Structure 1
């Protein structure tokens, strides 16, 4: 037991400084998003750039590609939060529309099967279909976050639950622990955004 604990601590503490920096900035960007702070976008861009390298080294190619996509989506989301509301005003929290759920579900299913098959047949990717599912789920959640849809936090909870064991399996212990913390942040973000949405609705009724 003591030997196993020693091996774990050695592996965790021995992980690259690059991963630790990615972990810290990753936590910061999700916390900022939960607080509806625009600063979540520049911090996310920096963190994602680091994770491109971290995931590629761990043979999680789909997740490495995901980080590059997140950088592009973060730039778009930054603009949307500033000017995506009515008459180019700041975006407010709202519910996900039915058509958005259908599109997200179709995308996640198609990407998981298609890209998972590609990774399985043409690369040495670890856990190709699980890797593809978390990638697709994260993209769907990020899209809803960009549009300030309240339910984006539901998708993040599902994705985080799956990421924790995958990253642990790949011995990315700090990042696995980060995703465990993300679960708590996702719940916190949902509660904060729901409160914000109710405040906006109340303000509109009294306007």
Structure 2
């Protein structure tokens, strides 16, 4: 891809802005997220990471949903209200497991994907985490930590060093996001 590294660096910068604003529960994370996933769709397709490329199309759509949901679910200060997932966690986990296995099998049989099950696992967990994020569940950050850990290795293997570095930053930011959102949740419930 001509200018591939420049596009990847731009996507990394957009991703860092996106996550920093997510941690702060700002609805303004979404424009940066939409731009980032557009660039990553191109980057991952070029790297033959088809599940990750397709995931960016899903991310684009779910970001629009999330933006709308977050605009309707803000506190007086304009920040988003955090919720706990509760019993729905089992359903999200099963969907991610079944989805990852099915997608991995499909990629293995139907494409020239270089790491179909690794790619599919990241994809299915990312879908789960993104839906949880759009619905403002605190636990989304824990799923993102798992995604980030898996993605760092895959992107290093594929020679996408700036993207691997981004996911290392995402891992740290996801931990910070979890603690920040948990503190907000507890404060809102008067548990602090």
TM-score, with structure 2 as normaliser: 0.92
Paired residues of 1:91 and 1:147 also in contact (CA < 8 A): no
Name 2:18's counterpart in structure 1.
29
Q: Which residue of 2 aligns with 1:73?
A: 62
Closer/same/farther in 2, CA of residues 155 and 111 from structure 1, 3 Å limit: same
**Correspondence for 2:150 among 162, 166, 175:** 162
Match of 1:93 among 70, 75, 82: 82
4+ runs deviating over 2 angstroms = none
1:91 deviates by 4.7
1:128 aligns with 2:116: yes
Q: How many residues align?
A: 187
Structure having the larger proportion of residues in helix: 1
RMSD: 1.8
Moved more, 101-110 or 117-126: 101-110
TM, length-normalised to structure 1: 0.86
Unaligned runs of 5+ in 1: 1-13
Q: Which one of the candidate residues 72, 93, 100 is aligned to 1:105? A: 93
Whether the 8 Å contact between 1:83 and 1:90 is mirrored in structure 2 is no
Which whole-Å CA distance do the structure 1 matches of 2:7 and 2:49 have between them? 16
Q: Deviations over 1:93-127 (max 9, x none)?
A: 111121x2122112111111111111111100021
Instruction: Write the deviation string for residues 68-112 of structure 1: whole angstroms up to 9, x where unpaired.
Output: 1001000100111121479xx9751111121x2122112111111
Counterpart residue number, 1:174: 162
Structure 1 residue aligned with 2:32: 43
Asked which structure has the greater CA Rg, the reply is 1
Q: Are 1:96 and 1:150, in contact at CA under 8 Å, matched by a contact in 2?
A: yes
Distance across 2 between alignment mates of 1:170 and 1:109: 24
Are the counterparts in 2 of residues 73 and 143 from structure 1 also a CA contact under 8 Å?
A: yes
